[in-house]
Each structure stands twice: as C-alpha cells, then as structure tokens.
Amino acid sequence: MNNQTVKIVGAGLAGCECALQLAKHGIKVKLFDMKPQKMSPAHKNKNFCELVCSNTLKSTSLEFASGLLKAEMKELGSEVLKSAENCKVPAGDALAVDRDKFAQEVTDKILSNKNIEVVHDEVLTIGANDITVIATGPLTSDGLARELEKHIGQRLYFYDALAPIVDAQSIDKSKTFAEDRWGQGDGDYINCPLTKEEYEIFWKELTLAQRVELKDFEKEKNFEGCLPVEVMAKRDFDALRFGPMKPVGFKQQKPFAVLQLRKENLEASMYNLVGFQTNLTYPEQKRVFSLVPALKNAKFLRYGAMHRNSYINAPKFLDNKFRLKTNQNVYFAGQISGVEGYVESIASGLLVAMFVFEQLSNKNLFKFSTNTALGGLCNYLVSASEHNFQPMHINWGLMAPIEAPKNKKHEEMTKRSLNELKEISKLWNN
C-alpha cells in the first residue's frame, strides 16, 4: 500500500465521510476547511458536517430509493450515517437529526482520529501530484471555483434550474403523442397536449401556486434566460404558449398548448418536463403539474428546484471513479461532483474513499453495478447527457429495472442490491 497522505478539501458531508473512511483503513488524511475563518453564505456552525437547510436525511423505508441507498451505505459502514442515527430525532420513517449534535459528533470523530490532520484554511490551488479530493460543496468558495475552472477549461455551473422528472411508466400514454418538434431529433420527445379549457385551469393554478422562499444570497440573480415556469406564466396568459408549451411544429396534432417530455436516461425510464424549471413547493408541483391530463397519475422521481449550486459537468470531465479524466489524482465528492442531496453527498464521499483506497493499493477491487443504488448514482454521473447535465438525487429510475409484479418490484430490487452489496462489503470491511 502506498502510504501517501490524501488531501481532502471541504469538511462537509462528503469530505467528512471520505476522511473517516480513509482513516479507518489506515490512510493518513489532511482535511482542509475554511471554517470558521470564512463561512459560505449558508454555513453558520463552526463545526464540520453541517446541514445547511432541512434536518432530514429522508426516508429509511425500503419502499423508497433513498431508504435503499442508506441501507447500502450502512452495509458498507458509513461513519456519517452512523452519527446521524446516533443523533436521530423522532420523524416517523424519516431519518431526521438534531443538527447541532450531529455536527458536533462528526467533528469530534474527526478531531480525535490520529490519521486525520485538520487544517482550517481556504484552499485556492490544486497540486498536480497529491491525491486530492475536492468536496467543497455547492457553495465552493469563489477563489477555488476559479482555480477549478482553470483545470477543466470551463465554468462551473453556478445556478441549478432543475425541472421535475417523472417515471415513464406513470405517464398516461393514451393522452400523449410521440413526435419531435419540426421533425428534428430521434423520437426522443413525448408530447402532452392540452385543450383550451385544460390550459386555462392549468395556467390559473400555476400562477396561484405556492413558491419556496429564496434565501437572500440566492436572490442576487433572477435566473435570467432561465425563468421559473410559474414566473413566466404570471407575465401573461399566453406566455407559456410562446415559451415551453408552444403548440407548433407538430404534424400529428394541433393542440392549444403542449408540454413536452424528454428522455432523461438511455433506458427511457425517466422523462424530464422540458423547460419546467420551477421553484414551487414540492406538494404544489405535484398538484399543479398533475393537471396536465397525461400526468394525472404521474410519479415524480425528482421535483424541480432552483438554487445556487456549483458543480462540475461530470459526464464530460469525470471518469467512473469520480476522478478528473485529465488528472487521475484529483477526485470530486459531494454535491460538486454532480450528485444532489445530503445522503447522496455522504454516499459519494464513501465511494470516493473506496476508489482512493483502490488507487493507493494499486488494485481494482470495487465494482458497483446498476443493480445497486450506489452503482446507479455512479452510472448517472458518467452516462447522463453532457449537453444539459444536472445533479441528481437517488431514485429507482437510476437502477436497472427488474422483472417482477408491480407491487413487488421495489422489494425485489432491494434484495438484489443488498445481495450484491454483501460481496463488496466483505472486501471493504474485512
């Protein structure tokens, strides 16, 4: 085993998990964080591993992909997840935590670990030869963001404007037609037509629906060129019919308005609501977008969101081990790598620790297939479209489908995944 010290930049959810995993496996780590001298606009606690917004790590039920992801992480011995469980507060099926206790417990683990040296400093450069994990999150400091841009030769994405994604099987296909606008494309679009009466109801509810309050630092730009669909709708009754819902360019039908759905993955198991980036609350997204007849019973795999977010175009720049294709000593973990969410960030920290361990031991040990939620995340980062890459949280659509009765699918997928994980876990935890 190569005894090189690994540099981790950012002691957030991903950086702490990565550091604790490497340290547990006997690897020396130098963990940098700019706290408390410099705080991002959302971080307030001097401790590491801070939850900047809600205090929930979502459901633990295996009916949900986020429950399976946590079960897999537990199987592999996630340290941050263990701390979350220790700091749990009652919240039904959800794993909600006392955020201050949680940050304190993880910080104590880090500070008491002899293999981890903590450096309170803002990192502004990346050395070419050190093994470095960049885990500086969606609010990466400006200086480091500029340095990263020099390395990849492209701007980091700065604002996230996510449109919702629905499960392909939940779309009522009898109320759609397949055609690419102006005949351009390879049949990638499903169109959901609306009559004038249906559009009137949809438009009215959209303009009245409840939005998420933006934080002060997120108000600085009003997402020019990328307006939330509800803001556009408020401008004028016809604004959407001249925008994302324009009913032109089709031969098969002449609807009053049309919502287009675009394939989100190669398997066509998920579809994106084209041009529907939104800041509505999640329940309002479900209520209002389900007024489109074809989406009446749609299952939302991801809701839309708009917030400040620095992340790398993973399919373009990263390999399947979260490393820069152009410098395999530089890894990315957490939200900046293109995953979305607290649990996914912790998960990517765990994965990167395993991949760094492989590099240091000069062995190819861990293969995550899309039978697992962790493999589904890895696969998304390398196989999503480079053209309009957007961070993704875990959902069943990222995993390989399974032949099973509808009401048994998730149970069977869970069994399949945990079986596969046991083998990987033996290698990692022995």
Ligand X SMILES: Cc1cc2nc3c(=O)[nH]c(=O)nc-3n(C[C@H](O)[C@H](O)[C@H](O)COP(=O)(O)OP(=O)(O)OC[C@H]3O[C@@H](n4cnc5c(N)ncnc54)[C@H](O)[C@@H]3O)c2cc1C
Q: How far apart are the first and last CA of the chain?
A: 16
Cα separation of 184 and 182, whole Å? Answer: 5
Nearer to ligand X, 339 or 399 (CB): 339
Query: What is the smallest separation between the CB atom of 318 and ligand X, expressed in angstroms?
Result: 14
Stretch that binds ligand X, among 28-36, 60-68, 256-264, 355-363 (CB under 6 A): 28-36
Nearer to ligand X, 13 or 353 (CB): 13
Among 260, 335, 395, 417, binds ligand X (CB under 6 A): 335
Query: What is the smallest separation between the CB atom of 205 and ligand X, expressed in angstroms?
Result: 26
Number of residues in contact with ligand X under rule CB under 6 A: 36
| Ranges within 131-170 binding ligand X (CB under 6 A) | 135-141, 144
Nearer to ligand X, 35 or 241 (CB): 35
Is 318 one of the binding residues for ligand X (CB under 6 A)? no
Query: What is the smallest separation between the CB atom of 127 and ligand X, expressed in angstroms?
Result: 14
* 304, two tokens: 């839309």
Residue nearest to ligand X (CB): 12
Nearer to ligand X, 138 or 275 (CB): 138
The set of residues, in sequence order, having a beta carbon less than 8 Å from that of 429 and lying 6+ positions away, is 76, 77
Cα separation of 21 and 83, whole Å? Answer: 13
Query: What is the smallest separation between the CB atom of 232 and ligand X, expressed in angstroms?
Result: 23
Is 11 one of the binding residues for ligand X (CB under 6 A)? yes
Is 8 one of the binding residues for ligand X (CB under 6 A)? no
Nearer to ligand X, 121 or 386 (CB): 121
Nearer to ligand X, 44 or 325 (CB): 44
Among 8, 13, 81, 392, binds ligand X (CB under 6 A): 13
| Ranges within 192-221 binding ligand X (CB under 6 A) | 215
Cα separation of 181 and 41, whole Å? Answer: 42
Stretch that binds ligand X, among 185-193, 239-247, 268-276, 329-337 (CB under 6 A): 329-337
**Residue holding tokens 């993973």?**
314
In Å, how far are 18, 222, 226, 279 from 214, measured between CA atoms?
A: 31, 11, 16, 9
Is 123 one of the binding residues for ligand X (CB under 6 A)? yes
| Ranges within 36-55 binding ligand X (CB under 6 A) | 40, 42-43, 52-54
Cα separation of 390 and 289, whole Å? Answer: 21
Where on the phi/psi map is residue 195: left (φ > 0), alpha (ψ -120 to 50), or beta?
Answer: beta
Query: What is the smallest separation between the CB atom of 124 and ligand X, expressed in angstroms?
Result: 6
Q: Are 193 and 318 in contact (CB under 8 A)?
A: no
Among 6, 7, 8, 14, binds ligand X (CB under 6 A): 14
Is 330 one of the binding residues for ligand X (CB under 6 A)? no
Cα separation of 197 and 193, whole Å? Answer: 12
Is 78 one of the binding residues for ligand X (CB under 6 A)? no
Query: What is the smallest separation between the CB atom of 301 and ligand X, expressed in angstroms?
Result: 15
Count of alpha carbons within 13 Å of 6, Cβ hemisphere only?
34
Nearer to ligand X, 199 or 380 (CB): 380
Is 302 one of the binding residues for ligand X (CB under 6 A)? no
Stretch that binds ligand X, among 206-214, 247-255, 287-295, 341-349 (CB under 6 A): 341-349
Give me the residues that bind ligand X (CB under 6 A), please.
9-15, 32-35, 40, 42-43, 52-54, 122-123, 135-141, 144, 215, 307-308, 334-336, 341-342, 345
